[in-house]
Structure 1
């Protein structure tokens, strides 16, 4: 049972996000590289962001839910955790009466897989529970950006449009401001209390839903703690007596100890993402998170010594052939690491935290000795790391500006059900469908049927979600491990000045840093040198980086920092 798995981060590809959440589970916790947030562009709409006193006027009041008590409370930015089995016969009710008024609402959303029939039993049951006739316009998630652009450029916009953060590029941010409604009159301040499950969404996630000075988005919250976990084969470590490294040098020494090419065993895959965390490099999760105030000056992550040191450390692992050959060819993030990780061809890799459960569940019956676990991220010199927060929401649903009040109220009725917490009847239906049709109960756990895997996929969960949740009653030790890992890493996580803000850079600088990720990969694989990066940073500064710095500095001076 895998409800809102913790989300993906800057580093994982869109593919890993989809495989680990929206498709592989019934719910998604969001959080992806938000390549551009919102506020406007060089011309036509509002640049910048909304924070401080202006934001407080717009944000919904926070009222913690009390319908269900998690087994592990959120701490240091972690998800809440559930480890115990649910008594499905006594699930709590978080929406005691239908809030929908029977209207019809069209929703366009990305969908990965084959969309089910429009009148399937899941959609019918959800519509009946909510009191709204939701008509889905599911679009291929892999080409969603093209469809999104075309729809928003037209006059025929559905009542609701879901926009993942990674699609907020080009003219999309401006279109969001131009095409979508201000939900403030319905949700700001105490108004949200009509929708208790929405009121229980963390304030940080609502802050991310401010676009163009208005509350426009319904968010999918996520933990702000990095979701890039250095996974390792704990069963092999225990057998061989390997110790989890507590510094970058210890990691390197361990990698040499593990690697035996003749025996087809290497230490790891590409560990660049973990290196960035070990060396305290600012987040690459979104452009705005890459800036920090150092001695009164805004500095970008690519200008820091830590950035170069992390690349050099990763390059050394490749140069000494301690990395699996697949990664040398650039395959480490593009293909499924599971088969060769399970086979023991490498013992360490880094990926989204959701793979912790995914790998463990896949091997639970056929390979009971297999044990995947997450390493704590050490500081590169030993001691505690300096980690940087990612943003607390990454997918949003928007309501057409032309929608009537009755349609908006019906949309909020939908969102109030889909944001129901784990352990409620509403959550169970949203994420698992109808018992007997979409799932059966085995050993006290819901198990999806074939029909459930067809019907109950990424639809209703895209409208709004509860606070980040990790729940695996079938593998409680994994759920506990994931949440406690987030809590420990959260204790060392700092928020950079633009944390939680929706920001769009002026269009003339949009593509300024496009080539850096490829250059990073070329450097760590030995195809380019550190000097090439230093030259690229110099070019970046002269081609607009310094001007962009001034633009961000004015934004900070005008709005203040959202971090606390």
Structure 2
């Protein structure tokens, strides 16, 4: 992440300033034994997971399966009720920090969305937003200090240095408030499925956060269907998965011309690794062979994927500045049809559709087949991230949990409507069918992208996108149904490793740097083999051993 961007420009906040901290490392904060000498769960008394209690939701038009396939709604519910009673807050200031994929929100004095949220929550929310491109570095700096905000989301798929140590030493233990039936005091948090809590995991046997739930599919190859059709890719490739790595390479070469590129990519996307690795049959980060955990870096299938990505790069089909472009800019390039595809998470579909403005079809392509064990899709961790709270008195913790409970109100409620669509009349109106229609104020920046409160906590997601045709919603529902049998899960989700907490961020960056160099032709595949050996020796094997121990203890 860029360290040149000034601290002031990154921590542009509505109300929370950034305290200067000189050392962007958590070693001084968490490496002094204050966390109790380990963050693992093996050998601990483990808090019971929150008792799942399903909320009443509108009957879906496209029913899900309660696990890998979401409920789909082709129209907005005709009746919208309340999921909470009264305001959760007491008028006090609540400081929070969260990742953003947009631009900083306007000040609360002029921001009608923030004003409405504050009024409904009964608090003075002072939100610091940290840009995606700088998230790891800036969060490490923040976490190393002592002036912590009340609410912090750890998310975006990143691994933060000594993350679990930080959570164990500086964040509130929420077990007594959320474990077992205690969660029923917060009914919307009780509606978060158990898989999300498990994929978040415990730390030292304790429940330390609240998960922000996400659907089952992981990274997806989103394609501009018309551009790929023009390059010879039949629609069946997207809807039935009847294409191979050779088909992809051939079509990508044909598509790339006149300053247009087949494959969009970004700094955080590593040349679409999240799509290419499972397409070649690699395990999802870790492989559990029954007795040990093996990193996907060390598998032959992963190396095959790297070799294919190298072929794609050599063919010139990636956007040229793939390692310096942010994911936000990569989305802009895809929307402008400069690139014909983009690897992104499942939820990105909701913003890609309106960004296309009807000029092309955004198609979630089923995985291509890259090898004998290929054609797979990684299952996502069931969470975007998780939200932790600064240590505080029990009454303060209960207030903050009530705030998160409000944010987690399910689809089909007034609370959800406010958090996701804003204020009726200001941020949305309704069409003849009752569906929310975004106003210019929302489109112009006063929205949940620029005020990313849904990353602090959110309802279990459903397939419904205002302004998106029922056909597009049905397309994603069908995609989920078709990919569900071939999802590759990560057996390490929810497990804790002391070594991973202390060193995985650093050793993963080292091997990822080599991976990028190999893809770009600056290093050889022999260099990759050497990098894998170094990764294993520097802690990769130790992490695998600790995960195996944790996995056995979690059964």
- Alignment TM-score, normalising by the size of structure 1: 0.77
- 8 Å CA contact 1:209–1:218 kept in 2: the answer is no
| Shift in CA distance, 473/543, structure 1 to aligned 2, threshold 3 Å | closer
* CA distance in 2 between partners of 1:135 and 1:484 (Å): 39
Residue aligning to 2:357: 364
Q: Describe the SS at the equivalent of 2:60.
A: coil
Residue aligning to 2:461: 468
The structure showing larger relative contact order (alpha-carbon pairs under 8 Å, at least 6 residues apart) is 1
Residue aligning to 1:10: none
Residue aligning to 1:30: none
Q: Describe the SS at the equivalent of 1:211.
A: coil
Residue aligning to 2:173: 182
Gaps of 5+ in 2: 1-25, 265-270
- 8 Å CA contact 1:217–1:398 kept in 2: the answer is yes
Residue aligning to 1:12: none
Residue aligning to 1:247: 244
Gaps of 5+ in 1: 1-35, 284-289
- 8 Å CA contact 1:48–1:555 kept in 2: the answer is no
- Superposed displacement of residue 537, structure 1: 1.5
Q: Deviations over 1:432-481 (max 9, x none)?
A: 22222333334543314427833754354233211133321421322222
- 8 Å CA contact 2:99–2:155 kept in 1: the answer is no
- Superposed displacement of residue 170, structure 1: 2.9
* CA distance in 1 between partners of 2:490 and 2:135 (Å): 30
Residue aligning to 2:397: 408
Task: Give aligned pairs, total.
Answer: 503
Residue pairs, 1:67-466, within 5 angstroms: 67-75=57-65, 76-87=67-78, 90-95=79-84, 97-98=85-86, 100=88, 102=90, 104-110=92-98, 112=100, 113-118=103-108, 121-130=112-121, 132-141=122-131, 152=143, 156-164=147-155, 169-207=160-198, 208=200, 210-226=202-218, 228-238=219-229, 242-243=233-234, 244=237, 245-255=242-252, 258-259=254-255, 261=257, 267-269=262-264, 270=271, 272-283=273-284, 290-294=285-289, 296-319=291-314, 321=315, 323-324=317-318, 326-327=319-320, 330=323, 336-337=329-330, 347-365=340-358, 367=359, 370-381=360-371, 385-403=375-393, 405-443=394-432, 444-450=435-441, 453-454=445-446, 457-466=450-459
Q: Describe the SS at the equivalent of 1:223.
A: coil
Residue aligning to 1:29: none
* Alignment equivalent of 1:497, drawn from 465, 483, 491: 491
* CA distance in 2 between partners of 1:336 and 1:455 (Å): 18
Higher deviation after alignment, 438-447 or 139-148: 139-148
Residue aligning to 1:487: 481
Residue aligning to 2:472: 478
Q: Describe the SS at the equivalent of 2:463.
A: strand
| Shift in CA distance, 382/331, structure 1 to aligned 2, threshold 3 Å | farther
Q: Deviations over 1:487-511 (max 9, x none)?
A: 3222211333312335452535652
* CA distance in 2 between partners of 1:441 and 1:410 (Å): 33
- 8 Å CA contact 2:97–2:129 kept in 1: the answer is yes
- 8 Å CA contact 1:70–1:81 kept in 2: the answer is yes
**Alpha-carbon RMSD:** 3.6
1:537 and 2:532 correspond: yes
| Shift in CA distance, 489/502, structure 1 to aligned 2, threshold 3 Å | farther
* CA distance in 2 between partners of 1:392 and 1:174 (Å): 22
Residue pairs, 1:542-553, within 5 angstroms: 542-553=537-548
* Alignment equivalent of 2:50, drawn from 54, 60, 79: 60
- 8 Å CA contact 2:220–2:346 kept in 1: the answer is yes
* CA distance in 2 between partners of 1:260 and 1:145 (Å): 33
